[in-house]
Chain A
Amino acid sequence: MTSGRAVYAATLAVLLVGSGLAVALAPAASGPAPAAAAGEYMTTADGTRYTVDPDRLRQGCPGGLDCIPSIDDPRFQSADEAGWLSPGDRLIGVEIDGQARAYPLRILNVHEVVNDRLAGRPIAVTYCPLCRSGFVFSRRVGGRTLTFGVSGKLLEANLVLYDRRTETYWSQLEGEAIVGPLVPTRLTVLPSTITTWEQWRATHPDTQVLSRDTGVYPRSTYGSNPYAGYANSSGVGFGVGPVDDRLEPKDLVYGVTVGGASVAYPERTLEPGDAVNDRVGGLPVLVVASPDDGGVRAFSREVGNETLRFEAGEGALVDQHGHRWSYAGVALEGPREGEQLDRLGAHGVYWFAWSRFHPDTGLYGTNETGKG
């Protein structure tokens, strides 16, 4: 009779040859880093480039790199097939060249990063539940296409991404490399909106929706919000320093940065349809909460040699000449018909994170509006 001990030992040996050696001998799939753009950075004793001291980064989840699984092979379904979404479910909406996609926060709360390709462009849809910040980046950097994952590190409670080619760490809120060979490089931020499913679907009926068949977890994983308790509490934690007390830490603000100056627009001051005419870093800006899709957008009010001023009209914005503009910043009539206002980044984020990253920020609705 064959001894069980012998079979156990023999199988261990066979598997060792079959898998263990293959792993040990196969080369790692990583290439040389593309040349970094010129800029200022520091280096550690071992030559690692950084703009943020690596000691400031805090471990946010157990397990190191990719401790939160990204979605790397996303699948999509039509709006009609996405019956599992409730009208009030929030999502990140992206539209490129007329193709729209919705990335529900139910899924992003669990994965935080989706490496996708939309209208032929490689994009990374990122969401930090601790800061409530959603950013969409182009994955093209220095002529290469990067794939992003969750580094497991946090900077002021904000998601720190890493790219799997060079293992450079990237700050989500700043959209730039902070530690690693690609310092100093910035990612290109693409326009996106955080809004409700009901509003997004109304304005983008042909949208595709990220499927719950993520290839990582079963569908049941996406039924509840694991951060509901965190969002409803006033505490932050995660090594965040003292928070500017002009607002509550988790008040939602929309931050606009121009030439190093920044202003935060509290969500409660942005009535849907209203036009906020303001200045940031000397640039005249328009901030609007669209009544169409609920998204908050910021535009430059400089058009040609003229500075426009807007106010709310009947279902549209109206400039000082009485001409109507859509909430997407497109002239609907007049001599500029069809022209598009230059769009600026305006991303919703908890106040604690915005103020920690922009300590000199102005705050709309106070005397400091337009600071900088």
Chain B
Amino acid sequence: MSLSDGRRARALDRAVELGVPAGLAALTWLGLALAAGFLARLNDLSVLNLLPLFFVGLLFWPVYSAAPWRPGVAERARSWARRSRAELAVVAVLWLVPLAPLVPELVVSLLQLPYRGSGIFFGASLFYRQRLGPEAGRLLLAAAQAYIQLLWLFLLSKGLVAVGRRLR
């Protein structure tokens, strides 16, 4: 390994050490902001209104699993990424599939299924739009949709990879 390669590797290590906990913190805040905005838009405490709180709680799942409050989060994240290489590759492919021409509408609808579910955060995005400006609301909704879409595609890819392994 050359000296420059060694420097690059150290820089990458440093980026992971800082980036993983910072990314998890950003996700925590995104989840909290969505939860707060969601609660602020409730116009009654009916079961139907409170049911999505379970869904909101699921947004924190990656943070619970990574447990950034315990030491060694960067190492754990690195080891998880190594174990989930196949799933992450499938996520990247699935993310791009709807952009390709001639993909059946049914497949695109399935891949983009959670976008409808993310509609429950539209009210939250309006809550922030009224307070922080239209761009803030739009960004929050886009971030929520991208995050939910990522979780959905990861679930799908886990299933696809498991099926693929069984078939082999």
Chain A contacts to B: CB under 8 angstroms: 1-12, 15-16, 19-20, 22-23, 26-30, 59, 61-69, 110, 149, 151-153, 164, 215-218, 220-221, 223-224
Contact = CB atoms under 8 A, between A and B. Distances in A.
B122 interface: yes
Contacts of B90: none
Contact of B38 (A3, A59, A63): A63
| Residue among A8, A110, A216 with max Cβ neighbours from chain B (10 Å) | A8
A53 to B, nearest CB: 14
Interface in B82-130: 98, 105, 108-109, 112, 115-116, 119-120, 122-123, 126, 128, 130
B43 interface: yes
Contact of B123 (A64, A153, A217): A64
Given A63-B49, A164-B126, A221-B112, A11 B21 contact: yes
Given A19-B29, A217-B116, A62 B49 contact: yes
29 contacts: A1-B17, A4-B17, A4-B68, A4-B71, A7-B21, A7-B25, A8-B68, A9-B25, A10-B25, A12-B28, A19-B29, A23-B131, A26-B132, A29-B131, A59-B48, A62-B49, A62-B120, A63-B119, A64-B41, A65-B43, A65-B126, A67-B119, A67-B122, A69-B119, A69-B122, A164-B126, A164-B130, A217-B116, A224-B109
B29 A66 contact: no
A67 B74 contact: no
Given A26-B131, A59-B46, A218-B115, A7 B41 contact: no
Contacts of B72: 4
Nearest to A27: B131
Contact of A216 (B32, B44, B51, B122): B122
A63 B17 contact: no
B27 to A, nearest CB: 10
Nearest to B103: A220
B26 A4 contact: no
Contacts of A27: 131
B21 A5 contact: yes
B7 interface: no
Nearest to A224: B109
A5 B73 contact: yes
A296 B5 CA distance: 75
Contacts of B24: 8
B120 A63 contact: yes
Interface in B4-46: 17-18, 20-22, 24-26, 28-29, 32-33, 36, 38, 41-44, 46
A39 B56 CA distance: 43
Contacts of B128: 23
